[in-house]
Amino acid sequence: MKKVLLTAAAVFAFTFANAQESTSSYKPVKGTVTTEVGLTGGLNNANFDLNTGVLKFRYFLKDDLGLRLGFATNSNKTESIDNSNPNNVETTINKNSNFTLNLGVEKHFAGTERLSTYAGADLLLNFKGAKTEYTENNYFYNVDGANIDNAGNFINNAGTQFGLRLVTGADYYIAKKVFLGVEAGLNILTGKNKDIEISETGQPNVNIAGGKESGITTQVIGGIRIGYQF
């Protein structure tokens, strides 16, 4: 009888411990901090990418309620040199940058033991920069506030945007405190383009007033995401 009781107690203890682990080891709870990064190229050829994705942090005020802080950034510089005429070398340099900051909240739903689905909203702030520099011999033509294409049109205007993003997503815990996720969002943005300043050899500087812009876009945010709990 004693052996039976000991065996039953052991089975109960193992079952209780297993149940505790299954309900608490995977999903975040109040006070948990998580971080994650977007991946590109798929799982078989994955690359960390902050150009199209985000680096995000979350702090859980409750088991099912988290604060969000994230940012995405990129900076590009391309240089084109035409030396077909050694006496008149032409150089074109295009620079542009983009930085987005988001702060928001997300509500998590029951899901399953390892799957956590959620919906939320972010406040967005976006800064864009652009500049083109063209030189040949002693001549220069510089544009600050936009790039110029081969036809001489202004593209990639610099400026500031702010707005709201509505999101929905899911995290799946592949191991204790480690998850893969996806997230999609609807962005509502408004902003103002920076004034374009043109300077040219032998000519007075020209200033073109920047215009306002607004729009609504949908996007997959960060593609596949991988993250972990602290």
pLDDT the model gives residue 40:
54
Under a CB-based contact definition with an 8 Å cutoff, are residues 60 and 27 in contact?
no
Residues 6+ apart with CB under 8 A from 197: 143, 144, 145, 205, 206, 207, 208
pLDDT the model gives residue 59:
98
Per-residue model confidence as pLDDT tens for the chain (230 residues): 444 333 333 333 334 344 444 445 789 999 999 999 876 554 444 444 444 456 899 999 999 999 999 988 889 999 999 998 888 899 999 999 999 899 999 999 988 999 999 999 999 999 999 999 999 988 999 999 999 888 888 999 999 999 999 999 999 999 989 999 998 889 898 999 999 999 999 999 999 998 888 888 777 665 688 999 98
First-to-last alpha carbon distance for the chain, in angstroms, is 46
Residues 6+ apart with CB under 8 A from 205: 197, 198, 199
pLDDT the model gives residue 46:
43
pLDDT the model gives residue 30:
94
Burial letters 18-45, b for 16+ CB under 10 A, else e: eeeeeeeebbbeeeeebebbbbeeeeee
Q: How far apart are CA 184 and CA 119, in angstroms?
A: 10
pLDDT the model gives residue 42:
47
Nearest CA to 36 out of 123, 129, 110, 118 is that of 118
Predicted structure pTM score: 0.73
pLDDT the model gives residue 223:
67
Under a CB-based contact definition with an 8 Å cutoff, are residues 181 and 225 in contact?
yes
Residues 6+ apart with CB under 8 A from 78: 93, 94
Nearest CA to 162 out of 71, 100, 73, 74 is that of 100
pLDDT the model gives residue 24:
52
pLDDT the model gives residue 227:
93
Domains and CATH numbers, the chain: 28-229 (2.40.160)
